[in-house]
Structure 1
Amino acid sequence: MMLAYSASSRGTVYRGRGENSTISTVLVVIYFMLMLFISGLSLFYTNFLQNISWIQYFNIPHYGFTALQHNEFLGQTFCTEHNTAEVSRCLNYVICTGEEFLIIQGIDLSSWGFWKNHVALSCIMIIFLSLTYVRLLYLKKKRHF
Protein backbone atom coordinates (compact mmCIF):
# COMPACT_ATOMS: atom_id res chain seq x y z
CA MET A 1 0.00 0.00 0.00
CA MET A 2 2.83 2.37 0.80
CA LEU A 3 4.33 1.79 -2.64
CA ALA A 4 0.99 2.50 -4.32
CA TYR A 5 0.38 5.64 -2.26
CA SER A 6 3.88 6.95 -2.93
CA ALA A 7 3.61 6.26 -6.65
CA SER A 8 0.19 7.89 -6.93
CA SER A 9 1.35 10.94 -4.96
CA ARG A 10 4.16 11.29 -7.51
CA GLY A 11 1.55 11.47 -10.24
CA THR A 12 -0.57 14.07 -8.46
CA VAL A 13 2.30 16.56 -8.44
CA TYR A 14 2.14 16.80 -12.22
CA ARG A 15 -1.64 17.08 -12.37
CA GLY A 16 -1.98 19.59 -9.55
CA ARG A 17 -3.10 22.50 -11.72
CA GLY A 18 -5.28 20.71 -14.21
CA GLU A 19 -2.73 20.52 -17.03
CA ASN A 20 -3.03 18.19 -19.93
CA SER A 21 -3.26 14.65 -18.60
CA THR A 22 -1.16 13.26 -21.48
CA ILE A 23 1.89 15.24 -20.45
CA SER A 24 1.59 14.23 -16.80
CA THR A 25 1.10 10.59 -17.75
CA VAL A 26 4.17 10.62 -19.97
CA LEU A 27 6.28 12.22 -17.21
CA VAL A 28 5.20 9.58 -14.67
CA VAL A 29 5.81 6.73 -17.12
CA ILE A 30 9.27 8.06 -18.01
CA TYR A 31 10.17 8.34 -14.31
CA PHE A 32 9.09 4.78 -13.48
CA MET A 33 10.66 3.25 -16.57
CA LEU A 34 13.96 4.96 -15.77
CA MET A 35 13.86 3.87 -12.13
CA LEU A 36 12.97 0.27 -13.03
CA PHE A 37 15.78 0.23 -15.59
CA ILE A 38 18.28 1.48 -13.00
CA SER A 39 17.00 -1.06 -10.44
CA GLY A 40 17.45 -3.85 -12.98
CA LEU A 41 20.97 -2.75 -13.84
CA SER A 42 21.89 -2.61 -10.17
CA LEU A 43 21.03 -6.30 -9.82
CA PHE A 44 23.64 -7.40 -12.34
CA TYR A 45 26.23 -4.62 -12.26
CA THR A 46 27.16 -3.71 -8.70
CA ASN A 47 29.80 -1.22 -9.88
CA PHE A 48 27.10 0.63 -11.80
CA LEU A 49 25.13 1.27 -8.63
CA GLN A 50 28.20 2.64 -6.83
CA ASN A 51 28.64 5.31 -9.50
CA ILE A 52 25.09 6.61 -9.12
CA SER A 53 24.26 5.55 -5.59
CA TRP A 54 22.57 8.91 -4.92
CA ILE A 55 19.67 7.97 -7.19
CA GLN A 56 18.40 5.33 -4.75
CA TYR A 57 16.96 8.13 -2.62
CA PHE A 58 14.55 9.05 -5.44
CA ASN A 59 13.79 5.49 -6.51
CA ILE A 60 10.28 4.54 -5.33
CA PRO A 61 10.40 0.99 -6.82
CA HIS A 62 13.71 0.34 -5.03
CA TYR A 63 12.14 0.92 -1.62
CA GLY A 64 9.09 -1.17 -2.51
CA PHE A 65 11.07 -4.12 -3.85
CA THR A 66 13.50 -4.05 -0.93
CA ALA A 67 10.66 -4.08 1.62
CA LEU A 68 8.93 -6.89 -0.28
CA GLN A 69 12.09 -9.02 -0.43
CA HIS A 70 12.79 -8.44 3.26
CA ASN A 71 9.24 -9.44 4.16
CA GLU A 72 9.09 -12.53 1.95
CA PHE A 73 12.58 -14.05 2.30
CA LEU A 74 13.41 -13.47 5.97
CA GLY A 75 13.04 -16.75 7.86
CA GLN A 76 12.57 -18.93 4.77
CA THR A 77 14.41 -22.24 4.35
CA PHE A 78 14.75 -23.58 0.82
CA CYS A 79 16.92 -26.67 1.44
CA THR A 80 14.82 -28.53 3.97
CA GLU A 81 16.66 -31.80 3.31
CA HIS A 82 19.92 -30.28 4.59
CA ASN A 83 20.45 -29.83 8.29
CA THR A 84 22.81 -27.15 9.61
CA ALA A 85 25.85 -29.43 9.44
CA GLU A 86 25.24 -30.28 5.78
CA VAL A 87 24.70 -26.71 4.63
CA SER A 88 28.46 -26.23 4.43
CA ARG A 89 28.55 -29.03 1.85
CA CYS A 90 26.18 -27.15 -0.47
CA LEU A 91 27.63 -25.89 -3.73
CA ASN A 92 28.53 -22.20 -3.96
CA TYR A 93 25.54 -21.28 -6.09
CA VAL A 94 22.98 -22.98 -3.81
CA ILE A 95 21.12 -20.61 -1.51
CA CYS A 96 19.56 -22.55 1.36
CA THR A 97 18.03 -19.76 3.45
CA GLY A 98 16.29 -16.50 2.79
CA GLU A 99 18.86 -14.70 4.93
CA GLU A 100 21.63 -15.79 2.55
CA PHE A 101 19.69 -14.36 -0.37
CA LEU A 102 19.09 -11.05 1.44
CA ILE A 103 22.78 -10.77 2.34
CA ILE A 104 23.74 -11.38 -1.30
CA GLN A 105 21.29 -8.64 -2.35
CA GLY A 106 22.82 -6.27 0.22
CA ILE A 107 19.64 -5.91 2.30
CA ASP A 108 19.90 -5.20 6.03
CA LEU A 109 18.45 -8.11 8.04
CA SER A 110 17.47 -6.05 11.09
CA SER A 111 13.95 -4.84 11.72
CA TRP A 112 15.13 -1.31 10.92
CA GLY A 113 16.23 -2.60 7.50
CA PHE A 114 12.58 -3.39 6.84
CA TRP A 115 11.03 -0.29 8.39
CA LYS A 116 13.41 2.21 6.83
CA ASN A 117 11.84 1.41 3.46
CA HIS A 118 8.40 2.26 4.84
CA VAL A 119 9.73 5.45 6.43
CA ALA A 120 11.32 6.45 3.12
CA LEU A 121 8.11 5.76 1.20
CA SER A 122 6.14 7.76 3.79
CA CYS A 123 8.53 10.70 3.46
CA ILE A 124 8.32 10.60 -0.33
CA MET A 125 4.53 10.50 -0.15
CA ILE A 126 4.35 13.42 2.31
CA ILE A 127 6.75 15.52 0.22
CA PHE A 128 4.85 14.95 -3.02
CA LEU A 129 1.44 15.52 -1.44
CA SER A 130 2.75 18.72 0.16
CA LEU A 131 4.02 19.92 -3.22
CA THR A 132 0.61 19.13 -4.70
CA TYR A 133 -1.09 21.12 -1.95
CA VAL A 134 1.17 24.12 -2.54
CA ARG A 135 0.47 23.99 -6.27
CA LEU A 136 -3.27 23.82 -5.63
CA LEU A 137 -3.12 26.88 -3.38
CA TYR A 138 -2.27 29.05 -6.38
CA LEU A 139 -5.02 27.62 -8.57
CA LYS A 140 -7.59 30.20 -9.59
CA LYS A 141 -10.90 29.29 -8.10
CA LYS A 142 -14.02 29.56 -10.23
CA ARG A 143 -17.13 30.71 -8.49
CA HIS A 144 -20.43 29.35 -9.63
CA PHE A 145 -23.45 31.25 -8.34
Structure 2
Amino acid sequence: MADIIMMRTIGTIMLAIITYWMTGLKSDPRSFLIYVLFLLLIGYASVSVALFFSITFQSIIIARIYMFFFYTMSVCFAGLILNTRTILSWLAWLKYLSMSQYALSGLSVNEFRFQTFQLCPTNISAITSAVSFPGFSVTNQSSTTCFLIPGEEILLQNLDYNDATFTDWDVWVNVVALSCITVGMYGLTYIQLVRTKVYT
Protein backbone atom coordinates (compact mmCIF):
# COMPACT_ATOMS: atom_id res chain seq x y z
CA MET A 1 0.00 0.00 0.00
CA ALA A 2 2.89 2.35 0.72
CA ASP A 3 4.20 1.72 -2.79
CA ILE A 4 0.87 2.66 -4.34
CA ILE A 5 0.30 5.82 -2.32
CA MET A 6 3.81 7.21 -2.02
CA MET A 7 5.47 6.19 -5.27
CA ARG A 8 2.65 5.59 -7.73
CA THR A 9 0.16 8.27 -6.70
CA ILE A 10 2.05 11.29 -5.38
CA GLY A 11 4.91 10.99 -7.86
CA THR A 12 2.53 10.48 -10.78
CA ILE A 13 0.43 13.50 -9.87
CA MET A 14 3.54 15.67 -9.63
CA LEU A 15 4.76 14.34 -13.00
CA ALA A 16 1.34 15.03 -14.55
CA ILE A 17 1.25 18.60 -13.27
CA ILE A 18 4.62 19.30 -14.87
CA THR A 19 4.25 17.44 -18.18
CA TYR A 20 0.64 18.30 -19.00
CA TRP A 21 1.09 22.06 -19.08
CA MET A 22 4.64 21.87 -20.46
CA THR A 23 3.52 19.98 -23.58
CA GLY A 24 0.64 22.36 -24.30
CA LEU A 25 -2.25 19.93 -24.15
CA LYS A 26 -5.88 21.07 -23.77
CA SER A 27 -6.13 23.78 -21.18
CA ASP A 28 -9.32 22.75 -19.43
CA PRO A 29 -9.50 21.13 -15.97
CA ARG A 30 -11.58 18.12 -17.08
CA SER A 31 -9.02 17.03 -19.68
CA PHE A 32 -6.22 17.50 -17.16
CA LEU A 33 -7.98 15.32 -14.55
CA ILE A 34 -8.59 12.61 -17.16
CA TYR A 35 -4.89 12.78 -18.05
CA VAL A 36 -3.96 12.32 -14.38
CA LEU A 37 -6.43 9.44 -14.08
CA PHE A 38 -4.91 7.61 -17.04
CA LEU A 39 -1.37 8.10 -15.75
CA LEU A 40 -2.41 6.73 -12.36
CA LEU A 41 -4.22 3.74 -13.87
CA ILE A 42 -1.39 2.76 -16.20
CA GLY A 43 1.02 2.97 -13.26
CA TYR A 44 -1.23 0.84 -11.06
CA ALA A 45 -1.76 -1.70 -13.85
CA SER A 46 1.98 -1.95 -14.50
CA VAL A 47 2.72 -2.52 -10.81
CA SER A 48 -0.01 -5.15 -10.55
CA VAL A 49 1.46 -7.10 -13.47
CA ALA A 50 4.97 -6.86 -12.02
CA LEU A 51 3.75 -8.05 -8.61
CA PHE A 52 1.92 -10.97 -10.17
CA PHE A 53 4.94 -12.20 -12.11
CA SER A 54 7.32 -11.66 -9.20
CA ILE A 55 5.14 -13.70 -6.82
CA THR A 56 4.38 -16.41 -9.40
CA PHE A 57 7.98 -17.37 -10.16
CA GLN A 58 10.57 -18.25 -7.56
CA SER A 59 13.41 -17.00 -9.73
CA ILE A 60 13.54 -13.25 -10.23
CA ILE A 61 15.30 -13.79 -13.56
CA ILE A 62 12.38 -15.82 -14.94
CA ALA A 63 9.91 -13.24 -13.57
CA ARG A 64 11.82 -10.46 -15.33
CA ILE A 65 11.74 -12.36 -18.63
CA TYR A 66 7.96 -12.75 -18.41
CA MET A 67 7.52 -9.10 -17.40
CA PHE A 68 9.71 -8.00 -20.29
CA PHE A 69 7.68 -10.12 -22.70
CA PHE A 70 4.36 -8.81 -21.34
CA TYR A 71 5.37 -5.14 -21.44
CA THR A 72 6.90 -5.50 -24.92
CA MET A 73 3.72 -7.14 -26.18
CA SER A 74 1.70 -4.38 -24.55
CA VAL A 75 3.63 -1.63 -26.32
CA CYS A 76 3.75 -3.45 -29.67
CA PHE A 77 0.02 -4.09 -29.82
CA ALA A 78 -0.92 -0.61 -28.58
CA GLY A 79 -0.40 0.87 -32.02
CA LEU A 80 2.83 2.61 -31.09
CA ILE A 81 5.13 0.25 -32.98
CA LEU A 82 2.78 -1.88 -35.10
CA ASN A 83 -0.22 -0.61 -37.02
CA THR A 84 -3.10 -2.48 -35.34
CA ARG A 85 -5.04 -2.61 -38.61
CA THR A 86 -2.30 -4.57 -40.37
CA ILE A 87 -1.76 -7.20 -37.68
CA LEU A 88 -2.60 -10.74 -38.71
CA SER A 89 -6.17 -11.64 -37.78
CA TRP A 90 -5.14 -14.52 -35.51
CA LEU A 91 -2.92 -12.11 -33.52
CA ALA A 92 -5.33 -9.15 -33.44
CA TRP A 93 -6.92 -10.26 -30.15
CA LEU A 94 -3.66 -9.49 -28.32
CA LYS A 95 -4.43 -5.78 -28.45
CA TYR A 96 -7.16 -6.38 -25.86
CA LEU A 97 -4.48 -7.50 -23.38
CA SER A 98 -2.41 -4.37 -23.99
CA MET A 99 -2.44 -1.86 -21.14
CA SER A 100 -0.69 0.66 -23.35
CA GLN A 101 -3.43 0.42 -25.97
CA TYR A 102 -6.10 1.42 -23.47
CA ALA A 103 -4.01 4.31 -22.17
CA LEU A 104 -3.14 5.53 -25.68
CA SER A 105 -6.75 5.32 -26.88
CA GLY A 106 -8.17 7.08 -23.85
CA LEU A 107 -5.59 9.85 -23.84
CA SER A 108 -5.90 10.35 -27.60
CA VAL A 109 -9.69 10.69 -27.49
CA ASN A 110 -9.34 13.02 -24.51
CA GLU A 111 -6.93 15.26 -26.39
CA PHE A 112 -8.14 15.21 -30.01
CA ARG A 113 -11.92 15.23 -29.60
CA PHE A 114 -13.57 18.64 -30.24
CA GLN A 115 -10.34 20.14 -31.59
CA THR A 116 -9.43 21.47 -35.02
CA PHE A 117 -5.82 21.59 -36.12
CA GLN A 118 -4.38 23.94 -38.72
CA LEU A 119 -1.74 22.74 -41.17
CA CYS A 120 0.06 25.28 -43.34
CA PRO A 121 2.46 23.30 -45.56
CA THR A 122 4.91 24.62 -48.09
CA ASN A 123 4.23 21.85 -50.65
CA ILE A 124 0.45 22.15 -51.12
CA SER A 125 0.11 19.74 -54.05
CA ALA A 126 1.49 16.83 -52.02
CA ILE A 127 -0.94 17.51 -49.16
CA THR A 128 -4.07 17.92 -51.31
CA SER A 129 -3.41 14.65 -53.11
CA ALA A 130 -2.70 12.76 -49.87
CA VAL A 131 -5.42 14.19 -47.64
CA SER A 132 -9.10 13.84 -48.41
CA PHE A 133 -11.76 13.17 -45.81
CA PRO A 134 -15.01 14.69 -44.54
CA GLY A 135 -14.46 17.85 -42.54
CA PHE A 136 -11.30 18.70 -44.49
CA SER A 137 -11.35 22.36 -45.45
CA VAL A 138 -8.93 24.87 -46.86
CA THR A 139 -8.42 28.42 -45.64
CA ASN A 140 -6.31 31.06 -47.31
CA GLN A 141 -4.30 33.20 -44.92
CA SER A 142 -1.96 35.79 -46.34
CA SER A 143 -1.25 33.87 -49.55
CA THR A 144 -0.47 30.70 -47.61
CA THR A 145 -2.91 27.86 -48.04
CA CYS A 146 -3.81 26.28 -44.73
CA PHE A 147 -5.84 23.17 -44.02
CA LEU A 148 -8.19 22.68 -41.11
CA ILE A 149 -8.20 19.10 -39.89
CA PRO A 150 -10.71 17.98 -37.24
CA GLY A 151 -9.26 16.00 -34.37
CA GLU A 152 -11.85 13.27 -34.83
CA GLU A 153 -10.41 12.53 -38.27
CA ILE A 154 -6.94 12.15 -36.79
CA LEU A 155 -8.39 9.63 -34.33
CA LEU A 156 -10.09 7.69 -37.13
CA GLN A 157 -6.92 7.48 -39.20
CA ASN A 158 -4.52 6.60 -36.39
CA LEU A 159 -6.55 4.55 -33.92
CA ASP A 160 -8.66 1.49 -34.49
CA TYR A 161 -12.04 3.25 -34.47
CA ASN A 162 -14.76 2.69 -37.07
CA ASP A 163 -17.19 5.46 -36.15
CA ALA A 164 -16.54 9.21 -36.36
CA THR A 165 -18.87 10.04 -33.46
CA PHE A 166 -16.77 10.06 -30.31
CA THR A 167 -18.56 10.17 -26.97
CA ASP A 168 -17.47 10.24 -23.35
CA TRP A 169 -17.81 6.46 -23.30
CA ASP A 170 -14.83 6.21 -25.69
CA VAL A 171 -12.72 7.65 -22.87
CA TRP A 172 -14.35 5.78 -20.00
CA VAL A 173 -14.29 2.34 -21.65
CA ASN A 174 -10.49 2.59 -21.48
CA VAL A 175 -10.67 3.61 -17.81
CA VAL A 176 -12.85 0.57 -17.11
CA ALA A 177 -10.47 -1.72 -19.01
CA LEU A 178 -7.38 -0.47 -17.16
CA SER A 179 -9.23 -0.75 -13.84
CA CYS A 180 -10.25 -4.33 -14.64
CA ILE A 181 -6.66 -5.24 -15.55
CA THR A 182 -5.42 -3.69 -12.29
CA VAL A 183 -8.01 -5.34 -10.05
CA GLY A 184 -7.70 -8.65 -11.88
CA MET A 185 -3.92 -8.78 -11.57
CA TYR A 186 -4.04 -7.75 -7.89
CA GLY A 187 -6.61 -10.51 -7.36
CA LEU A 188 -4.39 -13.08 -9.07
CA THR A 189 -1.44 -11.82 -7.02
CA TYR A 190 -3.43 -12.34 -3.81
CA ILE A 191 -4.35 -15.87 -4.87
CA GLN A 192 -0.70 -16.61 -5.60
CA LEU A 193 0.30 -15.22 -2.19
CA VAL A 194 -2.25 -17.45 -0.45
CA ARG A 195 -0.97 -20.49 -2.36
CA THR A 196 2.70 -19.72 -1.59
CA LYS A 197 4.19 -21.98 1.06
CA VAL A 198 6.01 -20.09 3.77
CA TYR A 199 8.90 -21.84 5.43
CA THR A 200 9.68 -20.66 8.94
TM score, norm. by length of structure 1:
0.77
2:112·2:155 contact (CA, 8 Å) conserved in 1? yes
| Equivalent position amino acid for 1:42 in 2 | N
Alignment match, 2:101: 62
Please say if 1:2 is aligned against 2:33: no
Q: What is the distance in 2 between the residues matched to 1:18 and 1:50?
A: 32
- Higher RCO (CA < 8 A, seq sep 6+): 1
2:136·2:150 contact (CA, 8 Å) conserved in 1? no
Q: What is the distance in 1 between the residues matched to 2:107 and 2:51?
A: 24
| Equivalent position amino acid for 1:115 in 2 | W
Identity of counterpart residues, as a percentage? 26
RMSD (CA atoms): 2.6
**C-alpha deviation, 1:102, in angstroms:** 1.2
Please say if 1:101 is aligned against 2:154: yes
- Mark the runs of 5 or more structure 2 residues left unpaired by the alignment: 1-39, 121-134, 140-146
1:95·1:101 contact (CA, 8 Å) conserved in 2? no
TM score, norm. by length of structure 2:
0.58
Please say if 1:71 is aligned against 2:110: yes
Q: What is the distance in 1 between the residues matched to 2:52 and 2:63?
A: 9
Alignment match, 1:41: 82
Please say if 1:135 is aligned against 2:184: no
Which structure's residues are more often strand, by fraction?
2
**C-alpha deviation, 1:3, in angstroms:** 0.9
Q: Deviations over 1:74-93 (max 9, x none)?
A: 22221299xxxx94347xxx
SS of 1:78 mapped into structure 2: strand
- Mark the runs of 5 or more structure 1 residues left unpaired by the alignment: none
